[in-house]
């Protein structure tokens, strides 16, 4: 996001200020009045485009709350605070692809930017196709589609909870990271395989893990995924429960294959129930402050995910995301079925790749399998490889990577031979078989 694209530095700001001041003074304290204000601010072109929002406000107005302590006036207050929160010397750098940069914002700065987005004051950045929606925060899908109303409730709960006079202390820090190794490095890595705590509860959620772990966001390469337009999978739900994350959509370019986005200091503002079509707002959050990393898996890889090219891609993506540097150490990483939902990843393969990457860093994992039948053997695999009776010389990152390369080669050979009609041996069975063989050597790796 360029400094010149901040809402209060645009030519139309004086006009917008008049509307915002009237909103703050109660001039639009009704469903229809608020929708008229959105037209004046440019969020929509005409009032008839806000019929869905009017219906929402009429049915759920108790959450939005009109009046002196209502969310409508709070939105106006936050937007009007932009010149104070972002004085001329304050910059919001773009987290550009290929860079290792960071953006640090106060909670109020995040809230003001999101309020401006909701009110239609954040313009698109037409020169940048690498930003989601070219950096325009547009919430209009939330009120056009009744199925998105639960997201509106989450956002309004967040706005209602923002402390305009919050004392200095907490910051929200967005860090773009880059890491990569060759496949030869991975296959030769002698770091020992670390422990993994497996939680198979079907309703377990990564953000509910105790302590202060690193939370893994099963991200889209354009962070936030479908949070503003129809999505309610793991990434979108993390963003809705912690709305400060949505600020990243303004300045984070698409993640390359060796990049991730780590965010520290975001507050859990609301609770939710369900997933996908069953998602619904469930009240105020516990205000827990968390650290998470947006880590995008290869999308729809099919059998290609067993190739050396994609094995390397996923190993590097995971090690980049789980690396404590440059932010600092954490007690463990909470993860699970990364890239195994709509992205179509193999659950066994993804679990083993994350294990290898975490072990290369000396990081312990808490793995939430959410009752996935494909992962029932995971505890057995862990015992066979790093249990008390396992061969300690074999239990290295390099051994596991060599085993996965060999498994991938065999899988692809079977696919070619059988014309895709047989799924062949799973990754867990391949590792279990390798763990019972003598010796620690594995196949040579073609990629360097």
- As a whole number, mean pLDDT of residues 318-331 equals 96
| Residue 245 and residue 224 in contact, taking contact as beta carbons nearer than 8 Å | yes
Contact in structure between 72 and 160 (CB atoms under 8 Å): no
Residue that the structure tokens 């304050």 belong to: 90
Summarize the confidence of residues 186-214 as an average pLDDT.
96
Rg (alpha carbons) of the chain, rounded to whole number: 24
φ, ψ (nearest 5 deg) of residue 92: -120, 90
User: Each residue of 23-64: pLDDT tens digit?
Assistant: 999 998 888 888 899 999 988 877 777 788 888 888 876 666
Q: Verify that 306 and 381 share a domain, yes or no.
A: yes
H or E stretch at 294: strand 289-296
Q: Which helix (H) or strand (E) holds 37?
A: helix 31-41
Quick one: the chain helix, strand, coil %, rounded to 5?
45, 15, 40
| pLDDT attached to residue 420 | 54
CA nearest to 427, candidates 249, 302, 306, 285: 306
16, 149: one domain: yes
| pLDDT, tens digit, 9 for 90 and up, residues 378-396 | 999 999 999 987 887 789 9
- Point out the domain boundary residue: 170, 190, 218: 170
Q: Within a domain: residue 447?
A: no
Rounded Cα–Cα distance for residues 407 and 430 (Å): 6
Q: Is residue 62 flagged as an active site residue?
A: no
163 inside domain: yes
State pTM to two decimals.
Answer: 0.93
Helix pair 51-64, 31-41: axis angle to 10 deg: 120
d(CA 281, CA 271): 6
The parent domain of residue 327 ranges over 174-436
Cα 411 to Cα 311: distance, rounded to the nearest angstrom: 13
Q: What percent of the chain has pLDDT over 70?
A: 92
150 catalytic per annotation: no
Say if residue 9 is in the same domain as residue 57: yes
Residues sharing a CB contact under 8 Å with residue 173, sequence separation 6 or more, in sequence order? 102, 103, 104, 105, 263, 264, 265, 327
423 shares a domain with 294: yes
Catalytic residue among 5, 148, 236, 244: 236
Considering the domain architecture, whether residues 100 and 154 belong to the same structural domain is answered as yes
The verdict on residue 448 lying in a domain is: no
Residues 6+ apart with CB under 8 A from 88: none
Say yes or no: 248 and 112 in one domain.
Answer: no
Q: Which of 170, 186, 221 is the last residue of a domain?
A: 170
**295, containing H or E segment:** strand 289-296
* Of 110, 126, 205, 219, the residue nearest 164 (C-alpha): 110
Q: Are residues 32 and 116 in the same domain?
A: yes
Residue that terminates a domain, selected from 138, 170, 202: 170
Active site residue 77: no
Q: How many domains does the chain have?
A: 2
119 and 193 part of one domain: no
Highest average pLDDT, of 3-12, 103-112, 131-140, 410-419, comes from 103-112
The model's pLDDT over 245-285, given as tens digits with 9 standing for 90+, comes to: 999 999 999 999 999 999 999 999 999 999 999 999 999 99
User: 144 and 232, same structural domain?
Assistant: no
Q: Say whether both 41 and 109 belong to one domain.
A: yes
Which entry of 5, 140, 207, 235 is annotated as an active-site residue? 235
**Polymer length in residues for the chain:** 448
Compute, in degrees rounded to 10, the torsion defined by CA atoms 355, 357, 362, 364. -40
**Within a domain: residue 301?**
yes
> Do the bridges between strand 259-267 and strand 196-199 make them parallel or antiparallel, or are there none, so unpaired?
unpaired
Q: Which member of 5, 148, 217, 314 is catalytic? A: 217
Residues 417 and 347 grouped into a single domain: yes
Residues 188 and 129 in one domain: no
Whether residue 355 contacts residue 196, with contact meaning beta carbons closer than 8 Å, is answered with yes
Q: Which residues pair with 173 in a beta bridge?
A: 104, 264
What is the predicted pLDDT for the residue at 447? 47
CB 405 within 8 A of CB 311: yes
- On whether residue 442 sits in a domain, the answer given is no
d(CA 285, CA 273): 12
DSSP string, 134-203: GG----HHHHHSGGGHHHHHHHHHHHHH--TTPPS---EEEEEEE----HHHHHH--PBPPPEEEE--TT
Q: Assign 91 to helix, strand or coil.
A: coil
The domain that holds 310 is classified in CATH as 3.40.220.10
Note the pLDDT tens digit of each residue in 394-408: 899 999 999 999 999
Asked if residue 445 is part of any domain, the answer here is no
């Amino acid at each position: 996001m360029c400094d010149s694209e901040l809402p209060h530095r645009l030519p139309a700001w004086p006009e917008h200020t008049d509307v915002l001041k009237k909103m703050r003074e109660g001039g639009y304290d009704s469903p229809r009045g608020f929708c008229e204000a959105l037209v004046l601010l440019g969020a929509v072109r005409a009032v008839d485009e806000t019929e869905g929002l009017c219906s929402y406000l009429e049915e759920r107005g108790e959450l939005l709350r009109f009046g002196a302590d209502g969310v409508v006036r709070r939105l106006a207050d936050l937007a009007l605070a932009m010149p104070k929160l972002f004085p001329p010397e304050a910059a919001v750098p773009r987290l550009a692809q290929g860079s290792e940069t960071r953006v640090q914002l106060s909670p109020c700065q995040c809230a003001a930017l999101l309020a401006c987005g909701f009110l239609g004051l954040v313009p698109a950045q037409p020169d940048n196709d690498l930003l989601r929606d070219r950096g325009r925060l547009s919430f209009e899908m939330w009120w056009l589609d009744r199925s998105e109303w639960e997201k509106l409730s989450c956002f309004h709960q967040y706005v209602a909870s923002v402390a305009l006079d919050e004392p200095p202390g907490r910051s929200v820090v967005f860090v773009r990271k880059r890491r990569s190794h060759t496949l030869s490095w991975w296959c030769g890595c002698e770091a020992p395989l670390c422990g993994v705590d497996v939680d198979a509860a079907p309703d377990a959620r990564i953000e509910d893990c105790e302590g202060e772990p690193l939370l893994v966001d099963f991200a889209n390469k354009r962070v936030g995924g479908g949070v503003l337009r129809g999505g309610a999978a793991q990434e979108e739900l993390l963003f809705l429960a912690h709305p400060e994350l949505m600020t990243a959509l303004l300045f984070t370019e698409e993640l390359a294959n060796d990049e991730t986005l780590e965010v520290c200091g975001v507050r859990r503002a609301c609770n939710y129930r369900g997933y996908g079509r069953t998602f619904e707002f469930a009240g105020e959050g516990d205000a827990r402050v968390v650290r998470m990393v947006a880590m995008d898996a290869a999308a729809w890889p099919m059998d290609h995910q067993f190739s050396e090219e994609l094995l390397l891609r996923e190993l590097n993506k995971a090690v980049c995301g789980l690396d404590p540097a440059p932010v600092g150490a954490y007690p463990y990483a909470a993860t699970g079925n990364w890239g195994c939902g709509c992205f179509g990843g193999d659950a066994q393969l993804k679990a083993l790749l994350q294990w290898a990457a975490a072990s290369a860093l000396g990081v312990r994992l808490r793995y939430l399998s959410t009752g996935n039948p494909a992962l029932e053997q995971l505890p057995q695999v862990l015992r066979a490889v790093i249990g008390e009776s396992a061969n300690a010389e074999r239990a290295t990152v390099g051994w596991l990577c060599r085993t996965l390369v060999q498994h991938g080669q065999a899988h692809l050979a079977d696919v070619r031979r059988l014309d895709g009609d047989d799924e062949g041996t799973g990754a867990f069975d391949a590792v279990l078989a390798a763990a019972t063989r003598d010796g620690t050597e594995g196949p040579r790796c073609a990629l360097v």
